Every structure is written in structure tokens, then in C-alpha cells.
Amino acid sequence: MALLNLKDLIEVCNSCQKCDLASTRTNVAFGEGNLRAKLMFIGEGPGAEEDLQGRPFVGRAGRLLDKMLGDVGLSREEVYIANVVKCRPPGNRVPTQEEAEACLPYLRNQVAIIRPKIIVCLGATAMTYCIDRSLKSIGPVRGKWFDRKGCKMMATYHPAALLRDPRKLDIAMDDFRSIKNLYDAIE
């Protein structure tokens, strides 16, 4: 796919029928945030609230993400937030490989537009598709920095996983402090 500018990319996504998620979505959640963001977050896919609003991370997991950002001195306004798939998988199931492959060119186009210095993958789905296909489990990988074409990448727990198991919150906050430290160190 040839790279599109932001306006054209949004238009293409909003009418996209490239995978079966198109038939069950209410709205495409394209992604949003600072177009000059140094730091980008990538989740798995829209949930119920995101599907209704057409915005990423606006439900319970999104509120936790906002709080974690605030706790390390970052705000939603300075970052950019997107997902591996832009349409909600029914019942919040993990997107199939077919769905992810269909949608990933849009995410790559989005990254090419924003050109973040740091990309943080929230959860295993984003980690696998965005950092390395051979990575399957988040536990041993989380908190580690990877270098991809000059972009620093890290995976950490998905906020929805932290809501299910709050004992992981302390470790996740260590990751967020590490993200903020690198954020401050990069011009």
C-alpha cells in the first residue's frame, strides 16, 4: 500500500471492508492523539465503548491507562494512541491473524505519519505483531527495550490485564517509569 496522508488514511479506514470485523463494528476507532508525539501506544483493538465512540482506550482500560500516564507525569494530550485492529472484535476476542494482517498496513502508515521515537505495545497482541512475531508471552519480554530502525520499542501489560490482576500493577508502573525516563532523555 502506498503511504497516504492522514486525512486520506482516516477516510480509507472509515469505509474499510478489508476484513470481517467491518460487518460487526459500529465505528472505526482510527486512533488519536498528538500528531507530533514522541511516544505512541499500541493496543489490541477497540472494545465496546471504543466501538460506540470511535475512539481508542476510552473505556475502563482507557481510564486506567490515563491514570498510569498521569502518575508518571505524562498526559494523553502529548502521546498518540492506536490499536492493531481498528474495528472491534465481537465479544472482545483476540483478533485473528487474518484480521490483524488486513489492518496492519494502516497502523504502519500511521506510524510513518507520526514518526514516534518510542512505541509501547500494550499486551501480547501488539507485542507479537509490532515487535517480533516470535514473541508470544508478555511476561519474559515486558519492560525490555528493543531498537527498531532507531525507534525504541517496549511491551508492557495491557491495562485490561491489570484490571483482571491488580498484583501486576507495581511492575507495570516500573515499566511506565522506564518509559518516562527514556521520554525525558530523548529530545
Query: Site for ligand SF4 (CB under 6 A): how many residues?
Result: 14
CA distance linking residue 131 with residue 62, whole number of Å = 22
Nearest CA among 92, 85, 91 for reference residue 129: 85
Q: Does 43 bind ligand URA (CB under 6 A)?
A: yes
Residue 187 CB, nearest approach to ligand SF4 (Å): 33
Q: What are the helix (H) ranges across 48-119? A: 48-53, 60-71, 97-114
Among 30, 41, 57, 106, binds ligand URA (CB under 6 A): 57
Angle at 138 between CA 77 and CA 81, to 5 degrees: 15
Smaller CB separation from ligand URA, 29 or 68: 29
CA distance linking residue 95 with residue 103, whole number of Å = 10
- In angstroms, the Cα distances linking 71 to 9, 67, 77, 112, 174 are 33, 6, 14, 29, 11
Q: Does 109 bind ligand URA (CB under 6 A)?
A: no
> Which residue stretch of 10-18, 65-73, 139-147, 170-178 sits at the interface with ligand SF4 (rule: CB under 6 A)?
10-18
**Residues in contact with ligand SF4 by the rule CB under 6 A:** 13, 16-19, 21-22, 28, 85-87, 99, 102-103
**Residues in contact with ligand URA by the rule CB under 6 A:** 29, 43-47, 50, 56-57, 59, 61-62, 83, 160
